[in-house]
Structure 1
Amino acid sequence: MTDELGLFADEPDDRRRRAPDPERFRRRKRRRLVTALAGLFVLVLVGVGVLYGASQIMQIGAYDDYDGEGTGDVVIEVKAGDTVSAIGRTLSQQDVVASTKAFTKAAEENRQINSIQPGYYLMRGKMSGEAAVAHILSPKAKVGRVDIRGGMRLEDQLAPNNGHTPGILTKLAEATCAGENPTCATSEEMHHIAATADLKSLGVPDWAIEGASRAEPKRRLEGLIMPGIYDVKPGESAENVLRDVVTRSAAALEAAGLPQRAEGTKHSAYELLIIGSIVQSEAITKDFGQVARVIENRLTHPVMELGMDSTINYPLDKPSLLTDPKDRDRPGPYNTYLNFGLPPTPISTASKEALEAAENPTEGNWRFFVKCYPDGTSCFAETFDQHRAYIEEARARGAF
C-alpha cells in the first residue's frame, strides 16, 4: 500500500485551491462594467422614448399659426399634382403661413381647396391658415396666366374703336407684373428678345429654325407659340419668359404632330404651319378642311395667286378679313394678291385642328370661298360666277 501511495505522491490534488490570476480578475471586472453601462444606456433610451411619446401626446392638435391677413407680397407656385399638404409646405417654407398644419387644418372644411390649379399665386407674408386658404381660392390670387388662342398674333392689333388689342408678346410682358411694387418685363423688352435672341436657345424646334431665320426679325416667332394656357412667373425676365413659353410650345407642336405631319404631303413642316395659320385666320373650325382645300387648289393652279385677305392685313396688324383696294395693290412679301405661293411665315397661331386640316384637306374642287352667314360659316365655289352669287347672298344676310 505504501508503494501504491508513493506512485501518486507527485500528482496535484484537484481539491487543492489554485493561486489567484490577476488578469482574469481584470477581465471579469471589465465585463461587469460594460454590462452595467449597457443596461444604463437602455434605461436612458427607454426614458427618452417615454418622454418623447408623452410630449407628442401632449402636443396633439397643437400647431403654430399667425394671426390676421398678413402683409407684403409673396409669389408661390403650385405645381401639377400638388396635394393640399404639399401646397401647405410651400406656403410654410416661404413664411406665408407659420406651419403646414395651419394651412391644412384650415382647409379641412373647405371643399373648394381641391380646385386649386397649377400656376402662380400672389399671397402675403405671415397669414393665418384661415386667411391663406380664403385668399388662395380668391380670383385675385391667381397671377401670371396667359390664355393664347388660335388666330392670335405676336404684335398688337388695331381695335375697331381705334385702340389696340394686345398681342402675344404684350400679354406675356403684362403677365410678369403682380403685386404692389412689381418687377416687370416690358413689352419693348419682350419684343427685343423675340427679334434678337438665338432661336435655338429660345427653344425653337430644329425643323422651324431655317424658315424662321429667313423672316424679318420681329416676325421670327410668329406661329411658333401654340394656343394654350401658359403660366408666367411674375418678376421673371423677358428672355426667361420667352424661353419657357417657346420651349413648352415646341412640345405642344410635337404633340400636334409636327414635323411628322408633313411626311407624305407636298410641304415642309414649316410650310404646313403657314397653311394652318391661314386656315385658322380665315375660317371657323367646321370649315377648316374646305378652306385648306381651297389653299391647295390655288397653290397648284398654274396661274392663280393665293389671294387671302388675312395675309394682306397681317403686316398691317388689322384683325378684319376685309381689305382695301389700296392695300391689295401695296407690294410686300405678305401680299398674296400680287405674289404666288405662300407668305414667308405663319400669320398667327394655329390650333391642332387647323394643322390637321392643312395636312388632310377635304376633297373638292373649290377655289373660292366667302363668309356668307352671320355665324361665320363660309360658302365654297368652284367657279368665279358661283363665288359672286355667294357674295350677293352674304350681303343680303348681312354677313359680308
Structure 2
Amino acid sequence: MIDELDVAFDEDAEQSKPRRHRAKKSGGRSAVAFALTFVLLAVLGGGVYFGYTKVRGFFVAADYDGPGKDPVQITVAKNASLTEIGNELVKADVVKSTKAFTNAAEEEPRSKNIQSGTYNLRKQMAAKEAVTLLLDPKARIAKGVTIPEGKTAKQTYELLAKATGIPAKDFAAAAKDPEALGVPDWWFNRGDGKKVSKTAEGFLFPDTYEFDPKASATQILRSMVDHFLTVTGELGFADDVQKNLDVSPYEALIVASLSQAEAGIAEDLPKVSRVAYNRAYKEKMPLQFDVTTNYWLELNGKDPKHSGKLLDAEMRDPKNPYNTETVVGLPVGPINSPGKSALAGAMKPAEGPWLFFVAIDKEGHSAFAVTDAEHQKNIQKACANGIDLCGK
C-alpha cells in the first residue's frame, strides 16, 4: 500500500509540469492518494488508541465500585504505614489493590490521622469509601488501653480487664507460665546465686495498645511480652549489661523495676540504678528500698503504704522473698513493668559512689549521698520542703 501511495504522490507531483493531456487522470489519482492517506492515518490512530488503552491499564490501579458488601472486621496495627494498611485490606478483600487504597489515602489529607485499632468495614469497597470509614470514629470498635510505666502485673491485669471485659483472673492464669507467653528461658538466669521469681512480672511492657476484640488473655499478654522483647532487643539490653556491668539481664531488669518505682523523675533513673548496683554488688549491703515491702503487701492482697507508715515487722518480714531491708542483694524478681527510660538507666547507670538517695521536693527530685551523715542532711532538707520523712 505504501508503494502505491508513493506512486500516486509521484504522479500527482507531475501535474506541475505543462502536460495538458494528463490533466484528466490526475484528479482520479489524487482522490486515490487522499483516500489511502486517510485510511493509513485511521489505522495508525486506532493503533495509538489501542496502545494507550493497554498502557493506561498498567497505570490505573484496580479498584472496586461502591460502598461494599458483606461486613468484615479489620485491625490496623500501631504505626502501620498506608501501604501496610492497604495490604491488610487487600488480604481481607476490602479493596481490590493496595495502590488504589494508597492513591485514595494520599488524596485525603486526613488519612494521616488513621488510628490503630479494629474497624467495621465491608468487603469489595471502593478504596475511597474504605478511607472514609477508617476515618470514621464510629467504625472503630477497639479502643486503646494504656499501661503506665511502673504498674505491677496485678495492676496491669485489672487495667486490661476493664478495657477488654476479660476477667483479671484470666490474665493472672495466662501469666503463670511466662515462657508460654514468649519469654525465652535464658531470661530467668541470674549470676548472683539467688532464686528466681519465675513470673511474668517485668515482661509486660508498658505502652498504649490496640487489641483485637476477639483476642484472648493469652494472646494479649503475648503481644505485650513481644513488645518487651522488641524494645530490649533494640536497646541491646541483654548483651550490654552482661558485657559492661557483669550482671545477668534478669538482674538488670530487677534494677530497672526498682528504679522505676523509686525515682520521682526520669533524670534520676540512672542514679537510682547506680545506688542499687553499688549496694548489691560493691558494698554487699541491703538495698533498703521500701518499694519492695509494698510490693509484697500487694501480692498478699494488702494496700501499699507511704514509706513513713510501714511497720518494722512488715519491712523485716523473713517470709518476704522481696525483703531488701535486712537481706543483702537484689530481691527474687522485678516488682513492676519498667519503661524504656528505666531499662536504659539500668543498662547504663550514672557513674558515682552514691549509697543513699531521698526525695527532697514535691516535684520528685532526689538528693544522692555517699555517707549516712550526708543522707541525714538531705532528709532534713526534704522535711523542710514538706516531704513527710521526719522521724524515719
* Greater percentage in helix: 2
- The 5 A counterparts of 1:331-342 are 331=318, 332-342=320-330
Q: Could you say which residue in structure 2 is the equivalent of 1:243?
A: 222
Is 2:257–2:338's contact at 8 Å kept on the other side of the alignment? yes
Query: How much has 1:278 moved relative to structure 2?
Result: 0.7
Is 1:273–1:346's contact at 8 Å kept on the other side of the alignment? yes
Q: Report the Cα distance in structure 2 between the residues aligned to 1:100 and 1:357, rounded to whole angstroms.
A: 42
Q: Report the Cα distance in structure 2 between the residues aligned to 1:380 and 1:192, rounded to whole angstroms.
A: 41
Residue 327 of structure 1, aligned match among 314, 339, 350: 314
Q: Could you say which residue in structure 1 is the equivalent of 2:355?
A: 367
Residue 243 of structure 2, aligned match among 263, 279, 288: 263
Is 2:78–2:210's contact at 8 Å kept on the other side of the alignment? no
- The 5 A counterparts of 1:1-400 are 64-66=65-67, 74-78=73-77, 82-83=81-82, 87=85, 90-91=88-89, 94=92, 107=105, 110-117=108-115, 119-125=116-122, 132-139=130-137, 141=140, 143=142, 145-156=144-155, 167=156, 169-174=157-162, 177=164, 185-195=166-176, 197=177, 199-210=178-189, 215=196, 220-260=199-239, 261-283=241-263, 284-300=265-281, 304-317=285-298, 322=307, 323-325=309-311, 326-331=313-318, 332-400=320-388
Is 1:147–1:229's contact at 8 Å kept on the other side of the alignment? yes
Moved more, 94-103 or 372-381: 94-103
Which amino acid in 2 is paired with 1:271? E
TM-score normalized by the length of structure 2: 0.67
Unaligned runs of at least 5 residues, structure 1 = 1-45, 157-166, 178-183
Which amino acid in 2 is paired with 1:154? A
Q: Report the Cα distance in structure 1 between the residues aligned to 2:353 and 2:98, rounded to whole angstroms.
A: 65
Q: Report the Cα distance in structure 1 between the residues aligned to 2:358 and 2:266, rounded to whole angstroms.
A: 15
Which amino acid in 1 is paired with 2:65? D
Query: How much has 1:310 moved relative to structure 2?
Result: 1.1
Moved more, 379-388 or 280-289: 379-388
Distance 1:345 1:134, change over 3 A: same
Query: How much has 1:255 moved relative to structure 2?
Result: 1.9
Q: Between Structure 1 and Structure 2, whose CA radius of gyration is higher?
A: 1
Query: How much has 1:244 moved relative to structure 2?
Result: 3.0
Q: Report the Cα distance in structure 1 between the residues aligned to 2:203 and 2:196, rounded to whole angstroms.
A: 13
1:143 aligns to what SS in structure 2?
coil
Q: Report the Cα distance in structure 1 between the residues aligned to 2:383 and 2:70, rounded to whole angstroms.
A: 59
Q: Report the Cα distance in structure 2 between the residues aligned to 1:89 and 1:249, rounded to whole angstroms.
A: 26
Is 1:64–1:98's contact at 8 Å kept on the other side of the alignment? no
Q: Report the Cα distance in structure 1 between the residues aligned to 2:260 and 2:294, rounded to whole angstroms.
A: 14
1:380 aligns to what SS in structure 2?
strand
Q: Report the Cα distance in structure 2 between the residues aligned to 1:90 and 1:264, rounded to whole angstroms.
A: 43
CA deviations on 1:345-364 (whole Å, 9 max, x unpaired) are: 01122234333433443333
Which amino acid in 1 is paired with 2:202? G
CA deviations on 1:289-313 (whole Å, 9 max, x unpaired) are: 3222222332246673210011111
Q: Report the Cα distance in structure 2 between the residues aligned to 1:354 and 1:239, rounded to whole angstroms.
A: 26
1:263 aligns to what SS in structure 2?
helix
Q: Report the Cα distance in structure 1 between the residues aligned to 2:342 and 2:99, rounded to whole angstroms.
A: 48
CA deviations on 1:111-152 (whole Å, 9 max, x unpaired) are: 0103325x4322254788777544422456272544444322
Is 1:279–1:288's contact at 8 Å kept on the other side of the alignment? yes
CA deviations on 1:359-400 (whole Å, 9 max, x unpaired) are: 443333322211001110001122323322222221222234
Is 1:367–1:382's contact at 8 Å kept on the other side of the alignment? yes
Which amino acid in 2 is paired with 1:241? I
